[in-house]
Amino acid sequence: MNDDLDLDDARKRYHFALAPEDYERLPFYSALLGQLEHDDVALGLLAGVRVEQRNPMLVLAALQLAGLKGHPVLGAIYAAARGGELEEPEGAARDVLAVIRETPDVIGDELWRSTQTNEPGRSAVIQAVVRELSVTSAAINVIEVGTSAGINLCFDQFPVRKIDDANPLTLVCDDVTPIDRKSPLPDVAMRIGIDPYPLDLANDDDRMWLKACIWPEQRRRHERFDAVVASRPSWPKATVLTGRALERLDDAMTLVDSNVMTVIFNTWVAFYLSPEEQRDYFNDVIARCANNNVAWISVESTLIPVPGVEVDEAAHVRGASQVVAAAPRSAPVLWGWCHAHGRWLERVTTS
Ligand SMILES: C[S@@+](CC[C@H](N)C(=O)[O-])C[C@H]1O[C@@H](n2cnc3c(N)ncnc32)[C@H](O)[C@@H]1O
């Protein structure tokens, strides 16, 4: 093993990977992380990852990926975890650790990747704000910045309910806004995504990696992801532009139907931009809204300041995501707050 690796740092990273409230609901991941932090091979794998991805979740996703690719031991354990059928989490964690110790390259060879997500729950938030922004528009274009696999470009394809039902595509959202969810959504003329590293659900490797990054014990998320994959071919087509937001927004604007309002949206993307890029991106979109038939929806952490919009300290403390919106020819305003995965949504009080 390379003596320069900082195993103590890796141990701390495994130890603090889950929030205390996760231990009970994720018994398998809790047991696994508890064993990884005491094993030199597992510590060496994490310590050897480039610093910006030195996250235990990368190792955990690489393990699930190996299972999805057909590893006999990992395949059976992870399938049982996803199905809620893992009876002995501690024993399963021991078996996973044995695979790591015997064949560390099975995991090590995948650690060049970056953890990647695309959360459909955020479509519940996009639907609500789009309804309000488009009250007088029968059709809109959408441009999603940071589109990942483009799932939320089809935000209008998901049923949203307060209580779950048998449909795996249903998004459960405790929406306490005055928005009428029964009112029709506008037609979407063009759907354009922008991302420097877009993923394609039709590509086996991209699809498996996205699934591997969903925690196995989050059964509902896996069921929804599988249902999205199955439904995507029959959903409306989207155009994806590879590149950073500021490089591709002009190109995206030339592709849209100029007769209808364009809604630009970004959900949990700003963290990936440097502070300068965040500021330039926000100012660029704000200027487009001020002068054109362009609206904006931004769903981001309260840690990321949007020019001209004050952060609500109480929302920051309770970990809410901040929903900012701008109507065409208007400045952005704080619209409301939501759960990071869209499980609840509140509208700021308007007088
Ligand atoms: C946490 S994911 C969120 C994906 C999606 N918006 C969602 O809510 O599920 C962040 C995405 O932003 C993308 N991204 C990173 N830098 C970007 C940039 N400069 N411009 C546009 N997208 C970027 C990443 O590649 C990744 O797909």
* DSSP 3-state of 4: coil
Q: Which residues contact 100 (CB under 8 A, 6 or more apart)?
A: 36, 39, 41, 42, 45, 63, 106, 107
Segments of the chain assigned to CATH 3.40.50: 122-347
146 C-alpha to center of ligand 1: Å? 3
Provide the sign of the torsion angle of the four alpha carbons 208, 212, 216, 218, taken in this order: negative
Q: Each residue's pLDDT tens digit in the chain (351 positions)?
A: 566 889 999 999 999 999 888 888 999 999 999 999 999 999 999 999 999 999 999 999 999 999 999 999 999 999 999 999 999 999 999 999 999 999 999 999 999 999 999 999 999 999 999 999 998 899 999 999 999 999 999 999 999 999 999 999 999 999 999 999 999 999 999 999 999 999 999 999 999 999 999 999 999 999 999 999 999 999 999 999 999 999 999 999 999 999 999 999 999 999 999 999 999 999 999 999 999 999 999 999 988 989 999 877 777 767 889 999 999 999 999 999 999 999 999 999 865
| Amino acid letter, 91 | G
Pocket residues: Cβ below 6 A from ligand 1: 117-119, 122, 145-146, 148, 152, 194-197, 244-245, 267-269, 272-273
Q: Ligand 1, residues 272, 274, 276, 281: which to mutate, most atoms within 8 A of Cβ?
A: 272
d(CA 261, CA 259): 7
Assess contact for 102 and 74: CB atoms under 8 A: no
268 C-alpha to center of ligand 1: Å? 7
CATH class for the region spanning 122-347: alpha beta
